[in-house]
Structure 1
């Protein structure tokens, strides 16, 4: 069973806590920006390393300390976030492993890389938490799920959840659930973007200007999502409340059912989850 950070007691992050990003790409930038803008940490409490000049420049613009050396980030921080592409995680961990001590908390956001793989490449009893975030973290509206390794200490999950609160919501779950999480929230933004585009196309077909149609479509999905989250009602109940007898919406729902709309989304989640399982076997 998963627990949400919306019900979690707030974890006060000490002013002495230093967070480091190994990798300064879009997700690292989103996390750093969210953590800073929410007031969880000051820029001076964050380090980042990235050999890519554009990434280096962008994350440096947030006021954090940057370096080209991963070793420096590890030595100067207590929470170390692995934010590189999955295919370079192993080489990165081999590089920094000599500097990982028991006072370091390792947080991986690398898709598909198992906790066991990370633990095998680090010193015994290394504290490891794996997080599956998603791209709406870029606008502080992310949905993340975290899973704990075998040696985490009391309070480690709360600390990571508090950091994640700067980019959206987070839940706790077992690592076995993360492939399904990938199918729902990890890949889910793409399904939503496709739905917005299709709704916009429909509006244009029926005579709306493109900009207006896209704006209405996007706001409609945003509003519907907020209703699910804030009312606590089942999506099916909310759908029924829109479908008045003999009205336009029930006719539209019939068209969606004939087109296999819901089955297509279920198939999409299954396909993404299965591919995540496949990638995990390769890591």
Structure 2
């Protein structure tokens, strides 16, 4: 689809960079010869089927060779990343690193911030992204195709929305895992065998939640339908609601959003 492009992923040996790179090749978004991966070890697992993929330990070399530079490193590692990306598209996966900081550090004004998560590894990642004014229509088309190769994506039109979604979407499986952990602990405390308890919880959190897919019933409608049925599910739901389930979720998302803003301030100062 974009066979003429050369895309370099800084941090291509990490789980996220590796997953998205492989997804682009599997879905034909990019030709194998057009993918460049940087890794501190000089080795990246999972690309044996595509020997044309290039590997490097030199981020500057990657930036020189690539048309598009993807920053898939932890925010605290960004200060050590040295690239010159003038007139190139830069796509950042880093939480809390603002558009202004990315422009100042990379030398490019064509910058996109995005927030994929661990579900990219299984093709179930939802990625919101935000673009600077200088990003072109062609840049946006590639970005959308890249993220759709491992799930779905939407452009958002305010950086504040991307910062909020950092706490909501960037969590990946963490929030469902917290629910699963609480349910599993309760089942084990009631004396269920571990295997039965784990299978039951996985069936609820992973299996039955597929009903909330894009074509499924809206969450509020499903909750209300279960409450109206007035059965065991209704009793469980009502007790969770009365105990403050929604307030706990609100507090968690507010805390995550506040952390994203603190990170943005910290990394902005670090770049000056």
> TM-score, normalising length from structure 1?
0.85
Equivalent runs, 1:1-283 vs 2, <5 Å: 13-24=1-12, 25-52=14-41, 56-58=43-45, 61=48, 63=50, 64-92=53-81, 95-97=82-84, 100-102=85-87, 104-123=88-107, 126-173=109-156, 174-187=158-171, 189-231=173-215, 233-283=217-267
- How far has the Cα of 1:250 moved from its partner? 1.3
* Secondary structure, counterpart of 1:57 in structure 2: coil
Secondary structure at the aligned position of 2:263 is classed as: helix
Structure 2 unpaired stretches of 5+: 268-272
Query: Take 2:122 and 2:19, find their aligned partners in 1: how far apart are those partners?
Result: 8
RMSD of aligned residue pairs (Cα, Å): 2.1
8 Å contact from structure 2 (residues 96, 263) kept in 1:
yes
Question: What is the number of residues matched between the two proteins?
Answer: 263
Distance 1:153 1:206 in 2: 58
Contact 1:60/1:66 (CA < 8 Å) preserved in 2? Answer: no
Q: For the residues of structure 2 that align with 1:76 and 1:184, how far apart are their CA atoms? A: 34
Instruction: List alignment gaps of at least 5 residues for structure 1.
Output: 1-12
Q: Distance in 1 between matches of 2:28 and 2:203?
A: 28
| Residue 61 (structure 1) shift | 4.4
Change (3 A) 1:37 1:219: farther
Question: How far apart are residue 244 of structure 1 and its match?
Answer: 4.9
What is the alpha-carbon distance in structure 2 between the residues aligned to residue 245 and residue 227 of structure 1? 18
- 1:156 Cα deviation from its structure 2 partner: 1.3
Q: TM-score scaled to structure 2, two decimals?
A: 0.88
